[in-house]
């Protein structure tokens, strides 16, 4: 009789119960879901950063092109103009800034980069036009 009771106790302690299996699966699922959401957010952030980097490079290219032009050519070629660069739209705006404390006049160069009518980047610089 004692031998049978010992066998029954051994059989009870050998395997996992259904509740233990379900709890371990729930814990594993929570951990996996957390890692997947972290990786997904990092991937989305990486795509957005890449988009901004491309827009920044494009805006810098336009600013550099505008800085080498003389004032008359600059006004003719870039004042309130839009350019299409692949999937981006580049808007250029020029503003004359006069300061009563400064002898020099500056031209404010504004480059806005858009994609799908959403502004991604707005880059500004100044050019001395004496």
Widest pairwise Cα distance in the chain: 111
pLDDT tens per residue across span 84-126:
999 999 999 998 876 665 656 788 899 999 998 888 899 999 8
pLDDT tens per residue across span 11-64:
556 678 899 999 999 999 999 999 999 999 999 999 999 999 999 999 999 999
Task: Tell me the CA distances in angstroms from 27 to 33, 35, 39, 94, 112, one per residue in order.
Answer: 10, 13, 19, 59, 48
Q: From CA 22, how far away is CA 49, in angstroms rounded?
A: 40
Pairing label, strands 88-97, 118-128: unpaired
User: Given this model, what pLDDT does residue 107 score?
Assistant: 86
């Amino acid at each position: 009789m004692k031998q049978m009771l010992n066998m029954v106790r051994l059989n009870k302690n050998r395997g996992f119960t259904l509740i233990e299996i379900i709890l371990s699966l729930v814990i594993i699922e929570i951990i996996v879901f957390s890692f997947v959401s972290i990786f997904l957010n990092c991937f989305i952030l990486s795509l957005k950063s890449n988009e901004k980097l491309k827009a920044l490079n494009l805006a810098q290219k336009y600013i550099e092109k505008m800085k080498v032009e003389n004032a008359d050519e600059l006004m003719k070629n870039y004042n309130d103009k839009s350019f299409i660069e692949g999937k981006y739209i580049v808007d250029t705006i020029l503003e004359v800034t006069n300061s009563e404390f400064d002898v020099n006049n500056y031209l404010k160069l504004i480059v806005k980069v858009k994609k799908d009518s959403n502004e991604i980047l707005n880059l500004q610089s100044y050019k001395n036009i004496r």
